[in-house]
Amino acid sequence: MATEKTWRCRINKNCNGDDGTATAQNWMFEYFTFLSGGEGGVGAWTIMSSSDASTVVSGGINITAASDFTFAVSGSKHSWFVARKNILPIGSGSSTYKDAHQYLYHGVNCNSVAGTNDHKATFWWDHQDPASHHRGGGQGNTGSINHSITGSVYTYAAWRRYRADFDAANPTYFHGTMDTTGSHHVVTATRNSAQHSMGFALTCARVETPRSSSIEHFPIFLKCGYNTYDDAIAGAYHKGPWSFYQTSEESKTPWNTSDTAARNTALGYGAQQAVWRYDGAWNDDLEVALMFPIPWEGGGAESSLNYFTPAVGGPPVDGSWSFLPVFLQSVDPAAAANAAIGKHNRLVGRLPDVHPWNESYNAKSGAGATVPYPTSSVTHAVVGNYFLPFTGALLPGD
C-alpha cells in the first residue's frame, strides 16, 4: 500500500559493542548519522554545532565515528549536538513567539555517566533559536546544551532512557525512518523474553492540518519515551510506547515524567508525547492522544481520554482496503477555567503514514513484522499496536 510521503529508512543497525559504553556510542552515532544524513539525502537536518568533548565546531564535522561520543555529567567534558530543520510553516509566528519561523531545533546531550547510566541522555526540541553558544562557542564542550523547562522548549528534568541495558547475547538495534519534510520515527529494539522488545520510541513529525499557519503555528507531534510493558505480562494491549494504551489512555502521563518514576520504569507506563500549545508554549499538563475510528473502552475519572482497543474478528482484509487514519487530539485540563479552552483543546491534525494495527489486517501485533498482504514493496512494519512507515522487517522481531 503506497505511502502518502516519501520515506527512507536506516534499519537493523546492530549497535552492540564490547560493553554498555561502546553500545551507547554506537547508538548515538547511528542517530547522528541518520539525522544529519537523512538516509539517502531525504529530509536531512542541518547540524548547527557539535562537541566531541574536545572541540566545538559548526556543521558537525568533528563527529565522524562512534568514538567521538563521550558520556560525562554536565560540567565535565562530554559530547553533544544541535540540529535544525525547516519543518514548520513559513511565517508561523504567534502573539507570544513573534520571532518564530520555519525552523525547529533539536539537541542531544550525552551528559550521563559512562559505564553507569550511559543508556540515558538528554533530548530537547524548541521552535525558538537556542542561545548562540549552542551554535559553536560560549560554554564549549563542558557546557550543557539543555534548555530550562520553561517557555517553548520540550525537554526533561532528568535523562531519558533510549536503550535497554547491555546484553552481549541480545544486540541493541537502531531503526529510523525519515520523510522529505524531515519528519522521523526512531525505534530502539532489544530482545527480551519477559518484556516488549521495542522499548524506546522517538518521533518528531509534521502533522497534516487544514488550518493555515496563522492559526496552527506549530503542527508538530513529539514522542520520546521508554517503555517495555508487554501484553504477555499485562494481559491487555500493552506493547511498549507505541501501544494503544500508552498512546490514548496513558497519554495523560506528563511529558516530563522522571526517568526514575514508576510510570517510566521498564514495566511501567509513560507515553511521553506532546504538541505545542496553540500559543507556542510547552505544557506538561497537555494530554495528547492518538485517535482513530476503532471501538473504545475505558477512560475514567483519572483521565479525560479513552483507552482504545482494536476491533477484531471476521476474515482478513486484503491489499485493496486502506489503512485507518490516526489523528491527534490535544486536551489541556487546566484550560477549562480560562478562555484558552477553544485553543489548547483541539484536534491538532492527522499523523501521516501512521496507522492503527488491527487483527483484520492479518498482521501480528508487537514488533517488527511487515504488512503481510501482497504489495509491490514493503511500506510499513508493526511497532507496538501501530503500522509505522518502515520499508522492511525490524530486528529482533517479536
pLDDT of residue 204: 97
Number of Cβ atoms within 10 Å of the Cβ of 234: 14
Q: Please check whether residue 329 is in contact with residue 323, taking contact to mean a CB–CB distance below 8 angstroms.
A: no
Could you give the residue ranges of the DSSP H alpha helices within 116-240?
231-234
Residue-wise pLDDT tens digits, 99-127: 456 889 998 989 888 888 999 998 989 88
Residue-wise pLDDT tens digits, 210-252: 887 777 788 999 998 888 776 555 444 567 888 877 787 666 5
SS3 133: helix
Which residues neighbour 308 within 8 Å (Cβ) at sequence distance 6 or greater? 244, 248, 249, 291, 292, 294, 295, 296, 297, 356
Residue with cell 521495542: 198
Domain ranges of the chain: 7-388
Task: Name the pTM for this structure.
Answer: 0.87
As a whole-number percent, the residues of the chain with pLDDT over 70 amount to: 66
Number of Cβ atoms within 10 Å of the Cβ of 324: 16
Distance CA 177, CA 187 (A): 9
126 torsion bin: left (phi>0), alpha (psi -120 to 50), beta (else): beta
Distance CA 177, CA 396 (A): 17
Distance CA 158, CA 169 (A): 29
Give the residue-averaged pLDDT of 1-21. 93
